[in-house]
Chains A and B, each alone.
Chain A
Amino acid sequence: MKLYGRTISKGNAEGDVIIEPGAVSFLGGVDPKEGIVVDSANQVSGQSIAGKVFAFSTGKGSTVGSYVIYRMKKSGTAPAAIINERAETIVASGAIISEIPMIDGIDISLMRNCDRVVVDADEGYVEIPGVSVKDAITVIVRRKEKVLILKRSQSVGSCKGRWAGVSGHVEGDEPMEDRAMKEIREETGMKARIIGKGEPILARDRALVWKIHPFLAEVDDGTEPEIDWEHSKYRWIEPEEVYDYNTVPKLDRVFENLGIL
């Protein structure tokens, strides 16, 4: 799988990824002699970033942090590459003056610790060779002001007991919309019309990344679903109530991309 971002500092590198969901301060937060994160606010505190592909949300702290990165590079304790969700001045400056490949605009939640990743900062992408992408659809069915969410049963393969939209894998070359219609029929038995489509969303699931294509469908007032074995319950909710439910990953993003949140 390839993830495209923005080149901050050119170059290429390959290595095991180490992921920090929070912000990192290189001055005080990283021991440059050993290349170990020492900031207790970081999840990866105590771990070495030397020679790794270091993926974290963004930089913070003193601007001296840029020089700390340079010093690490010269003493061989620097990361092989840096991936940020959002670059800022300190880390970007450090990566550039130290010639460490760096890319931002990457959703780091799609990576897992110890994934082997290839960073091509000349072309601006990150490749995770061990992870493949599969297409799936998620349909949010609307009835007047409310939308349908379904609780996944104990018989399904993944995300048991979590709330989701109507969903399914795409098989072969079939058109996404056909798959969406088919799943609505199978999972709810309702007659619905597809009225909208959103930008795809990526979500990690073990060695796979699902590329979820969101659809918005509409049913007539008074229509009720008849659920099959895949679900144990359903509810019609106001879109903003989605935050109150334990949902499958990124269901809120599906709502956002469909423009209903």
Chain B
Amino acid sequence: MMQLTEKQKGMLKGKEGEAVKKAMELITALGDIYGAERLIPVSSVQVSGVSYKTIGDAGLEFIEDYARIMKEEGIEVRVKTTMNPAGMDLEKWEKMGVPPEFAKKQMRIFEAYTSMGIEPSLTCTPYYFVNVPKFGEHIAWAESSAVSYANSVMGARTNREGGPSALASAITGLTAEYGLHLDENRKADVIVELDFEPEPYLYAVLGNHLGSTLTRMGKKVPYFRGIKPELDSMKALGAAMAATGSIALYHVENITPEWKNAVDDELEVMHIGRTELTEHIKGMDMGCEPELIAIGCPHASESELKRIAELVDGRKKRPDKELWVSISRAVAERNPDAVETIERFGGLVLRDTCMVVSPIENRFKSTGVNSGKAAYYLPKESFCRQCIRFRPLEELVMMAVEGEK
């Protein structure tokens, strides 16, 4: 059982109200399940469970109930808290073809979260400008791709929280100290060696392949050797590994902040060659002619956005193709020119959402992506039912350009 401070005991007993009591019950139960000895403060929270498409009426009901209790008790979240993407761009939802009924319920979820004091960030990439944890900081984040990025690329410390547990941390400012909060669980347990430098799009393939493979092998923390990924490639790699498997932390030799202390013992070495990755693409790419080209899973970075703008600048969109670029509000505000260029071309720059968590299946049957995470979720029968084309960013964008092949 965990040792609680006097203040924490009081919170658990209801001294600070019902909302805090419930949140403490959840955090301490999880702490007991995973063998934590104490609770620790977190400096920020990212909540998931925002898109009406993913949480449905069940989630809507819970969030509204909880928001009402918090309002009645006059409390808000205690630490900086940002939120995951919604099921639509809050302004352009009609252009996306989102049904009004869906939009109404989505707005209710959004309003319930904002009434709790959660920032209207609506992105899976809060680490771009909005919620930027420092090295070594303890945080409680949901959204598996952001968890991977925060742990691996930024050296912050978070477990892969669920919607309710992240919200509980936001309300209490606490999380239980287990898993990736502890040094010993941040060590690598397998070495992945590549004898070539993958092109950026192959990082998504590598992640899509390794997530399921490593999780099946019971491995949790891979250590990459022989590669030099850029930030965008690391985002793609981590997101895909977290989608097809349960990898929440990885290290890259000479690159990521904790690589030096990541390998203690002699570890199993896994070799990945170029052929293995090109073979793996065959399983991801279903070969359809895409009606929709969708970039931005996770939300595109400034550099990705600018690259797309460059490619379409001064060109005309084919009338039979749609181009969607999903970004955060923060990235949009900082790059009005790139956004304008893409919109002038005829593309739709979406904030607040992406193709995975919005109801695209109402409108499209086939989607072109360069994301290893989207390639995993979009084809699912119960989710988006898309036939996937998997290609590099440049090729995808050119598919939407008039006069190109």
Contacts and interface: CB of A to CB of B under 8 A. Distances in A.
Interface string B146-157: 000000000000
Nearest to A26: B58
Contacts of A68: 58
Interface string B52-81: 001111110110001000000000000000
Contacts of A97: 22, 26, 62, 66, 164
Given A71-B58, A74-B61, A93-B162, A64 B49 contact: yes
Interface in A16-72: 28, 32, 63-64, 66-68, 70-71
Contacts of A92: 26, 29-30, 33
Q: Chain A interface secondary structure, helix, strand, loop or mixed?
A: helix
B59 A67 contact: yes
Interface in A68-101: 68, 70-71, 74, 87-90, 92-94, 96-97
Nearest to B32: A6
Contacts of B17: none
Interface residues of B, number: 24
Output the residue of B22, B62, B66, B163 with the most chain A CB within 10 A: B62
Nearest to A96: B26
A87 B34 CA distance: 9
A97 B18 CA distance: 11
B384 to A, nearest CB: 14
B275 interface: no
Nearest to A10: B25
Contacts of A96: 22, 25-26, 29, 164
Nearest to B162: A63
A9 interface: yes
Given A28-B382, A71-B61, A93 B164 contact: yes
Contact of B55 (A8, A32, A64, A88): A64
22 contacts: A8-B29, A8-B32, A63-B162, A63-B163, A64-B49, A64-B54, A64-B55, A64-B163, A66-B164, A67-B59, A67-B61, A71-B57, A74-B61, A88-B33, A90-B162, A93-B26, A93-B164, A94-B164, A96-B25, A96-B29, A97-B22, A97-B164
Nearest 9 A-B pairs (CB), nearest first? A71-B58, A63-B162, A67-B59, A67-B58, A93-B164, A70-B62, A96-B26, A68-B58, A66-B164
Interface of A: 6, 8-10, 28, 32, 63-64, 66-68, 70-71, 74, 87-90, 92-94, 96-97, 104
